[in-house]
Amino acid sequence: MTLVEHLAELRRRLVVCALAVGAGATVGFFLYGHILALLVHPYCRVLPRAALPPGGRCTGLLLVTDPLEPFVIRLKIAGWAGLFFASPVVLWQLWRFITPGLNPREKRYAIPFVATSIVLFALGGAVAMLVFPEALHFLTYIGGTSLRTFYDPGKYLRLVILMIVAFGVAFEFPVVLVALEVAGVLSPRKLSSWRRWAIVLIFLVAAIITPSADPFSMFAMAIPMYVFYELSILVGRLLKR
């Protein structure tokens, strides 16, 4: 293919991705109430029963001070939901665009790497949602009982999204290590000799990139990363054989 043909192919793939994201965002716009309830649920879990609205229902916990903010929040959630719903189509279009440039050996490695990356990112997002109530409990009560929290929906949802993205990216750690081993940049023996420094660096990185900056999230990120480090050494040895 010529350069112009490559650009035309890229444009076609991007148009398909944009249409898929738009369709997913439309679905997310109508499912807004369910998605917001799911994201606000951790906040309900950390509040005492007396702090909930009358009837004990998990509603009205986020404080809006801008008349335009509810509409903006709905658009943001619809956009993130559209990207989530359209992710299989986006990844498939990306795969179809790069496949012609790969030789059979590269394709054989690429498929498990891509599949593993998707699974690990989803696993990281799930861990983030599991640990977020503990992180929110720490942040809510670290200032003492004299403070009563009313969170801004934009900042609250930004923290939730950052937690999911941070954990998802952190859980890609073994994919990077194994890729470097396959490329010959690292070896299992070298990774084994760096184990002590790796533990220190893993906990340091987890403390830096954890958006909530609480100890629960840091350990929830660092411990799996170290387990992944050991698994990467094992996988590297198997691949070498």
Q: What is the mean pLDDT of each run of 10 residues along the chain (241 residues)?
A: 85 94 94 88 72 59 84 92 90 83 75 85 91 86 75 88 91 89 84 90 91 87 93 87 75
pLDDT score for 51: 53
pLDDT score for 1: 73
What gap in Å lies between CA 150 and CA 63, rounded to an integer? 6
Q: Can you spell out the DSSP letters for the chain?
A: --HHHHHHHHHHHHHHHHHHHHHHHHHHHHTHHHHHHHHHHHHHHHS-GGGSPTTS-S-S-B---STTHHHHHHHHHHHHHHHHHHHHHHHHHHHHHHGGG--HHHHHHHHHHHHHHHHHHHHHHHHHHHHHHHHHHHHHHTT-TT----B-HHHHHHHHHHHHHHHHHHTTHHHHHHHHHHTTSS-HHHHHHTHHHHHHHHHHHHHHH-TT--HHHHHHHHHHHHHHHHHHHHHHHHHH-
- Per-residue H/E/C for 165-213: HHHHHHCCHHHHHHHHHHCCCCCHHHHHHCHHHHHHHHHHHHHHHCCCC
Single pTM value for the model: 0.82
pLDDT score for 50: 47
Closest by CA to 218, choosing from 120, 140, 127, is 127
Instruction: Kindly state the tokens that stand for 235.
Output: 């996988």
pLDDT score for 77: 93
Domain ranges of the chain: 1-101, 104-241
